[in-house]
Amino acid sequence: MKLNYKTFTALSAGLLSILIYSGCKKYDNPPPVFEELKNLASAPRKVLIISIDGLTGTELQAVAPPVITGLQKNSKYTYNTLKTASDAGGWVSMVTGTGFSKHQISNDNFERTQNPNDDVHGNITSYRNVLDYVTQYKAVTTAMVTTWPNLRNYVRNADFSPVVTTDVAVKDSTINLLANKAGLGTIFVNFRDVQAAGGNGGYVATNSNYKNAILKADEYVGEIMTALKARKNYANEDWLVIITANHGGSSANPTNGFTLAYNPAFKEFELKKSGFNPVLFSTATSRAVVPNDNGLYDVGDTKNITVQMETKFNSTNINYPTFFGKSTDLNGSVITGWQWGHYGDQWSVTVGGIANGGSGKLQVNATTAPGTNWHTLTMSITTTVNGSGVATARSLKLYMDGNLEATSDILGRKSLSTTELLRLGHRKGDTDTPTPFYGANLQFFNVALSDATIKANIGLKDITKHPNYSNLIGFWPMDEGTEGTFFNKAPVGYNMSLSGVYTWANLAALYPPGTTVEPVTSTLSIPSTVSDIPALTLYWMKIPILADFGFDGKPYLNKFEIEFLKN
């Protein structure tokens, strides 16, 4: 066994730093337990997290329940917390600080989803939950109050975990804990009636069942806040109260939720993503892949496709790095599949079919230098087949900003099929030096678009208006600004998962052509996710957030310290 954070003893599940282990996979969750490390310091700061599962941000804003709305005056808040994978997926992110692309948990049994491409004898990574970090570093107790037995079992390292079966019992048990447990440091509270009510008439404010459940949950929040402030030692405690949702809407079809972080010292501030926030791919390991496309993006020997991406390189005169494609590594002239490269200051596409009996490397170069500005790069493959379905002609075309740059016959490459994943980011080519670049509005069509169609739709800001929208099998804006997923917005297709060393950037008003320009309202761009909750918790409790924790979430309260740091 190998650990990437301290030595451990497997005592019971749920308490460990990131654990990486080998052997046949057993999708244990929560992960095993580390030995307790030395407490660094005690502090009066404490955290109360209340999740109103299924409460959509837009509908919360429409209902405007009095308690939560009142707390907003001393809060950092958003009505647009990014949606999560499911009930369980949202809760795992909320307690581990990691997005779905890392933890891969979406099933209600809180077991990791096995990817078809997984090596069943390989390594998997598990993540500690935040209550473990709290009790490791602080001499406090913790609690999880929920009606959901599976969640209670997943976070079974909580010191107090009362068995309750109704939301009113969740509220009463929470009030009891606040009144009688002086040593509480972090407490999770989970209300689930709002989500259940939305299942009867819809997750919208116009559904009286849903609206009334929101108002009742708001009433419970008010009673809990009253109990919190009635604690005997409240005047000597500094509480951060986070009210959020594991997601909006249903588990099967989640939508964006909300987050409110309250403290009496906070000034009101609405958290928003500001400007354009792409990923900077700049290392040999930074990448985004479709983990399993079930052959959807495989080109084969007869398929027609068009692939387009708005691209901004960070430098010029780079020697032969690749940055996008679905291919094997390029080894001399040996390659199968297709890949985009940055050769000198040219954009090039290389194709080959060595593994399928075809010819090797064919490099087709655009004639216009992209420089370091945003440019729209487009590749199409057009195939003619005979009555027997055999390809008789096949051509590759390259376009920059809608202008045809090059055309080449690729029939001799035969099939471009490969089991390699559709991948953004560096792949070994004629060099192992990556090219730093940003990507945006990646489009994948299952048809070869005409020259006129490509030209006419450069900079299209509403993809649903594309004349070939029905042929779109992948559309990734790549502007989430946080966590590890590029969400697919096409009618069909798959999300892309990020991995390796990459950086979310804020390019402010430097928008790519196909992105709707919005006013840059703040120098702070703070997209919200439920994986922020553990980061905020540790930050507030003055617990160091180490790289080994694997957090995707951000402790964005550190941007506002002037408001609440005391001498």
What CATH code is carried by the domain that includes residue 419?
2.60.120.200
Number of domains present in the structure of the chain: 2
The residues facing 336 across adjacent strands are 353
pLDDT of residue 430: 59
Collapsing DSSP to helix, strand or coil, 265 comes out as: coil
The yes-or-no verdict on residue 431 having pLDDT over 80 is no
The alpha carbon dihedral of 456, 466, 275, 62 has a sign of positive
pLDDT of residue 24: 37
Torsion, Cα of 21, 27, 29, 32 (10° steps)? -30
Residues 499 and 409 in one domain: yes
Closest to 305 measured CA to CA, from 337, 263, 347, 331: 337
Mean pLDDT of the 185-193 span: 98
The domain containing residue 343 runs over which residues? Answer: 279-504
Residues 227 and 242 in one domain: yes
d(CA 191, CA 145): 9
Residues 209 and 309 in one domain: no
Residues 460 and 536 in one domain: no
Q: 1 in a domain, yes or no?
A: no
d(CA 379, CA 405): 10
Residues 159 and 286 in one domain: no
Q: 18 in a domain, yes or no?
A: no
The alpha carbon dihedral of 517, 519, 524, 528 has a sign of negative
The yes-or-no verdict on residue 37 having pLDDT over 70 is no
pLDDT of residue 114: 56
Last residue of a domain, one of 455, 473, 504: 504
Predicted confidence band of residue 344 (pLDDT cuts 50, 70, 90):
confident
Mean pLDDT of the 210-239 span: 97
Q: 14 in a domain, yes or no?
A: no
**Is 349:331 a contact under the CB 8 Å cutoff?**
no
Supply the CATH number for residue 45's domain: 3.40.720.10
Q: 521 in a domain, yes or no?
A: no
Residues 290 and 205 in one domain: no
Collapsing DSSP to helix, strand or coil, 249 comes out as: strand
The yes-or-no verdict on residue 515 having pLDDT over 70 is yes
pLDDT of residue 428: 75
Q: 387 in a domain, yes or no?
A: yes
Mean pLDDT of the 55-61 span: 96
pLDDT of residue 101: 82
**Is 76:279 a contact under the CB 8 Å cutoff?**
no
Q: What percent of the chain has pLDDT over 70?
A: 89
Residues 264 and 383 in one domain: no
C-alpha distances out from residue 253 to 56, 200, 202, Å? 12, 15, 12
Mean pLDDT of the 408-413 span: 96
**Is 517:508 a contact under the CB 8 Å cutoff?**
no
CB atoms within 10 A of CB 387: 5
Residues 532 and 496 in one domain: no
Q: 13 in a domain, yes or no?
A: no
pLDDT of residue 152: 96
Least confident segment among 12-21, 365-374, 411-420: 12-21
Helix 532-540 vs helix 130-137: crossing angle, to nearest 10: 10
Residues 147 and 225 in one domain: yes
Q: 417 in a domain, yes or no?
A: yes
Residues 409 and 534 in one domain: no
d(CA 540, CA 366): 52
The residues facing 257 across adjacent strands are 81
What average pLDDT is seen over the chain? 88
Instruction: Output 263 or 519, whichever has higher pLDDT.
Output: 263
Q: 49 in a domain, yes or no?
A: yes
Residues 240 and 345 in one domain: no
Residues 174 and 256 in one domain: yes
DSSP character string of 349-407 = EEEEEGGGT----EEEE-SS--TTS-EEEEEEEEEEE-TTS-EEEEEEEEEETTEEEEE
d(CA 155, CA 524): 33
Predicted confidence band of residue 41 (pLDDT cuts 50, 70, 90):
very low
The yes-or-no verdict on residue 349 having pLDDT over 70 is yes
Please give the single-letter amino acid code of residue 444: F
- Maximum average pLDDT range among 104-108, 216-220, 247-251: 216-220
User: For residue range 135-150, what is the model confidence (pLDDT) as tens digits?
Assistant: 999 999 999 999 999 9
CB atoms within 10 A of CB 265: 11
**Is 9:35 a contact under the CB 8 Å cutoff?**
yes
pLDDT of residue 554: 94
Contacts of 320 (CB under 8 A, 6+ apart): 341, 342, 343, 429, 430, 431
